[in-house]
Amino acid sequence: MKLVIVESPSKAKTIQKYLGKDFSVVASVGHIRDLPKSNKKAIDIPDGFVPHYEVSPGKEAIVATLSRLTKKAGEVYLATDPDREGEAIAWHIAQACGLKRPKRVAFHEITPAAVREGIAHPRAIDQNLRRAQEARRVLDRLVGYDLSGLIWKKLRYGLSAGRVQSPALRILVEKEREIRAFIPEDFWVITAHTRSPDNTSLDFVCTKELREEAEAKSILERAREGTWSVVDIKETEVSRAPSPPFTTSTLQQAASSRLGFSPANTMRIAQKLYEAGLITYMRTDSVTMSAEAKEAATRFIVRRFGERFSEPRTFVTKSKNAQEAHEAIRPTDVTREKAGLSSDQQKLYGLIFRRTLASQMASAKLLRTRVLANIADQSLPDFVANGSRLLFSGWLEIDPAARQDDTEIPKLSRGDALTIVSVDCEAKQTEPPRRYSEAGLVKELEKRGIGRPSTYASILKTLLDRNYAEKEGRALRATETGEAVSTFLETHFGTVVSDTFTADLEQKLDDISNGEREYEKTLKDFYTPFSKEVKSKENLEKISTLGDAPSDIRCPECDASMVKKLGKSGTFLSCSRFPECKGARLADGSEMPAEEEIGEPCPECHGKLVRKSGRYGPFVACANYPKCKFIKGSETPTTGVRCPLCNTGEMVERRGRFGTFYSCYDYPKCKNAIKAKPTGARCEFLRDGKPCGALMMEGTKTIPERCSDKTCPNHNPHLLEKKR
């Protein structure tokens, strides 16, 4: 039997269907090994930055299953994703299972032909790619561990910093500073609403920048009384060429602006489409398409729209190191118009399909029109209407939404009379710079060379999860916590969080993957000066305040002035006389919510239990905190499932920094916790002849109801033997 190992169960299912009964396809369910949490054990710096990996918690059963299957197999193929991370996972599987000469295969698309082609041409694990991924992982650990430890001591416990996350945060913080420094100016906009000779509505806007209200009113009065006509028309024929097929970053940007998907959600959906064999690999910075795909697209375009709509194109990749995959993101079958199981998958697939076909179509031809209008004596500043007429749709035929809002200008001639419907004058103010949307930040990161396609989604997710940024509509706003962390790093580690330094380090990682640079030298050149810089900051005084509060906000206890401080839930205002006075207010100056007694004694110190509000919602705790740290539990309803560990409390829903989880109500006495909602059933999988007995959890679309015990094979049912 030939064994093929992939990362994802759904990917395994698709490939199994293509390879048939002579092959057995199983999944590692992502990474199986990682660096331990303790940095002292993780990396041997003196010995050349040697990482010491451990089996990831919860993956013990998977590794045992893979080891058993590889020993029985005649041949082992490692078919993890075709990028650095996939190469690293393949190497970890080989190391954990003791494989001497595993066959490495890569599928840039999961189709019958591509899978058979990959299996027919195996290679060895690319150690350059693997070492590049290892260097990235080690660098991120060293930077994150050292910087985070310093921030804990000097700013606040629990904060963190990262090699790529911190420059991204700095970009958001710089935008907030620009917005605060912006001084708005008043101006007036006058709009004439007219009708053309063919009774088409047409709006003209005054071309002069009006900064004085008196001048605006004068123009408004004369505009309302005058007789209007067209004084000039400028028409220019322009061609609008289609964009290249999607790369990772452009897909994330388009999905964000047109579908409202976050980058992380876009990548999750794209992963499902790839694993189902519907699109090519979705982590790429290449814009090229195979000759076969372009020919198929051309045939489809000619058949559907006609010969004049077809214009085969070859796009050149601008990225210096487009190494993540060989092709742009495209449908594996460019003639398949609709695909995907869920509505989100169908929407994203449709976006990819239209972009791919449009890239091989003729340019759209438009007549850009600029019409100037004025009253009879032309004593007013000219009023203008801009728009266009579509002469030939070209690629817009398949993607009409890409034209966006574009006013259709009717056919007009100089001297044509215009009927005034109304003239409006609107007072406005100049607006501050716009905050980045998720799509905008991805574009900016790519422009500055910060991160790589596979990291953009995780960068944004980290900033949001750690409360360094928050979303306001589609805009990203740096929080006060994020600003405090970024300011500290900019002040004391300006080089490390700079664009040039980060981009240069990314280039060196690319050089390692190309075999042009040594792993140890790269890490040594970076870490030697970096570690010295961190040590030199150990004597910095702890930053207890972030500045003074507004002078009109006074302490509710003693009427003294107040200062900004950083707490677990963000910033708050504290009395400047602390600790003599413990008066505090919320960050906006309002009063702190009162702690409501619930009428029960604390079982630990016999003090009073009070209802509090924290970052993740309401909870009940001892009023004598921090002397007594008893927490009764969440205020959310219980699940009705008794905790199997203590057999007294019930499992309740809680919120943590990584989302929702379920734990025993009697925390901290009982620390039983699971990720998914318990069903109340117990696992019946036989272990050493006895049922496991752990709680069963609700399943997902890819994994059915499963055991909550990570060491039980039933925790990942896809890995159980087929006979079960």
Map tokens 């009774």 to a residue.
Answer: 199
Name the CATH superfamily housing domain 251-358. Topoisomerase I, domain 4 (1.10.290.10)
pLDDT given for residue 318 in this prediction:
65
Beta strand residue intervals within 121-173, DSSP E: none
Phi first, then psi: give them for residue 580, nearest 5 degrees: -60, -40
Architecture of domain 2-125: 3-Layer(aba) Sandwich (3.40)
State how far the Cα of 630 lies from the Cα of 612, in Å rounded to an integer. Answer: 12
pLDDT at 302 over 90: yes
364-375 and 383-392 as β-strands: parallel, antiparallel, unpaired? antiparallel
Question: Each residue of 167-182: b (16+ CB within 10 Å) or e?
Answer: bbbbbbbebbeeeeee
State how far the Cα of 311 lies from the Cα of 329, in Å rounded to an integer. Answer: 19
The answer to whether domain 150-181+435-536 has CATH 1.10.460.10 is: yes
- Percent share of the chain, pLDDT over 70: 93
Q: Which tens digits make up the pLDDT trace of 656-680?
A: 656 678 888 776 677 788 878 887 7
Which residue in 274, 281, 665, 667 is the catalytic one? 281
Name the CATH superfamily housing domain 186-241+364-429. Topoisomerase I, domain 3 (2.70.20.10)
pLDDT at 13 over 80: yes
CA angle 657, 660, 664 (to 5 degrees): 105
State how far the Cα of 688 lies from the Cα of 354, in Å rounded to an integer. Answer: 55
DSSP for 523-577?
HHHHHHHHHHHHHHTTTPPP---SEEPPTT-B-TTT--BEEEEEETTEEEEEETT
State how far the Cα of 281 lies from the Cα of 290, in Å rounded to an integer. Answer: 13
CB of 85 closer than 8 Å to CB of 57? no
Instruction: Give the number of C-alpha atoms closer than 13 A to the C-alpha of residue 447, restricted to the C-beta side.
Output: 9
Is residue 662 flagged as an active site residue?
A: no
Residue 442: both structure tokens together: 């991805």
Q: Which tens digits make up the pLDDT trace of 42-55?
A: 888 888 899 999 88
**Which residue ranges make up each domain of the chain?**
2-125, 150-181+435-536, 186-241+364-429, 251-358, 547-586, 596-719
Q: Pick 667 or 415 by higher pLDDT.
A: 415
Q: Which tens digits make up the pLDDT trace of 606-662?
A: 888 887 766 555 678 888 877 787 777 544 556 778 787 777 777 887 766 566 788
CA angle 157, 40, 44 (to 5 degrees): 140
Q: How far apart are the first and last CA of the chain?
A: 19
Residue 9: both structure tokens together: 């169960």
Phi first, then psi: give them for residue 374, nearest 5 degrees: -160, 170
pLDDT at 324 over 60: no
State how far the Cα of 666 lies from the Cα of 624, in Å rounded to an integer. Answer: 18
Q: CA-CA distances (angstroms) from residue 103 to 4, 79, 99, 119, 629? A: 9, 9, 10, 9, 54
State how far the Cα of 260 lies from the Cα of 292, in Å rounded to an integer. Answer: 32
Q: Which tens digits make up the pLDDT trace of 152-185?
A: 888 877 778 888 889 999 999 999 999 999 999 9
State the average pLDDT over residues 12-19: 88
pLDDT at 68 over 50: yes
Calculate helix-pair angle for 480-492, 165-181, nearest 10 degrees.
110
CB of 245 closer than 8 Å to CB of 331? no
pLDDT given for residue 471 in this prediction:
87
pLDDT at 724 over 50: no
pLDDT given for residue 603 in this prediction:
79
State how far the Cα of 615 lies from the Cα of 710, in Å rounded to an integer. Answer: 28
75-78 and 103-104 as β-strands: parallel, antiparallel, unpaired? parallel
- The reply to whether 251-358 shares the fold of 150-181+435-536 is no
Q: How many other C-beta atoms are found inside a 10 Å radius of the C-beta of residue 638?
A: 15
Coil, strand or helix: which one is 106? Answer: coil
